[in-house]
Amino acid sequence: MEREEHHIRYWNEAAADYCSHPRPGRVEYEPVVDELLGDVSRKRVLDAGCGDGTYSRRLNSLGAIVTGIDGSVEMISIAERYPAQLDLGFEVADLTKKLPFPDGYYDVVLANMVLMDIPRIDVAIAEFARLLVEGGILVFSITHPCFFCYDWVTDEKGERAHKEISDYMTPKVLELNFWGKTLHFHRPLSHYFDVLSQNSFCVDAFKEPVPSEEVQTEAACRRIPSFVVIRAMSKS
């Protein structure tokens, strides 16, 4: 429980390493995120869990009016080191608590690779529903909960053959060490769908991106997806 309560502290400590290292998975999920977002020109966009603001700046360059928020003070500090841009701002805000914006203020909410990093998604998704205009969209990407937590099994040649899945249904907290220690909150896909439904979201797109043929990677990575991207429409 103590680790869960201090999940943001982990990201404050990992922020510098996270922002200075390349994240190869982007070539898989970001084109799909772009596709599901569609045209963002002149739309009010909340980039929830914006990290160093890379995607916020990209959306702003496409004409969106963007607010980037993150619970990590260090992440927002890094985001604000870049030159100021018109219609782009950053704020510290914890996704597990009420957010400091009025009802129906945003056309789009993006939560890009963040929901699996927070201990509760019910508060975040309820807030997203509150903040969106009627018919507004939520687009979020996560590591694929069916496969992410499990190791590859190799064949007799030492090549990746498959993943051995066990106890997928039980929520759990894992301590990862990609960019320093961070917490990963595993929950089955049904949990995400249940919370979306409870907050009057209607899912209209579900994607499992894999590397394109142009990306040099093992064939196994095209057979077992690492990510999920979902778009849901606000009905309230």
- Per-residue pLDDT of 160-169, as tens digits, reads 888 989 899 9
Q: Compute the CA torsion angle 57, 58, 63, 68 (nearest 10 deg).
A: -40
Q: What is the pLDDT of residue 1?
A: 44
The answer to whether the Cα torsion of 186, 171, 122, 76 is positive or negative is negative
Return the pLDDT at 24: 73
Residue 130, number of CB atoms within 10 A of its CB: 18
Global pTM value: 0.94
Query: Burial letters for 145-167: b for 16+ Cβ neighbours within 10 Å, e otherwise?
Result: bbbbbeeeeeeeeeebeebeeee
Percent of the chain at pLDDT > 90 equals: 76
Higher-pLDDT residue of 213, 60: 60
DSSP tag of 148: T
Q: Would the pLDDT of 22 be above 90? A: no
Q: How confident is the model at residue 40 (pLDDT cuts 50, 70, 90)?
A: very high
**What pLDDT sits at residue 161?**
87
Task: Report pLDDT digits (tens) over 141-156.
Answer: 999 999 988 888 989 9
Q: Cβ atoms within 10 A of the Cβ of 219, count?
A: 9
Domains and CATH numbers, the chain: 2-147+190-234 (3.40.50.150)
pLDDT in tens, 62-99: 999 999 999 999 999 999 999 989 999 999 999 999 99
Confirm if 96 and 120 have CB atoms less than 8 A apart. yes
Q: What is the pLDDT of residues 56-70, one digit of tens each?
A: 999 999 999 999 999
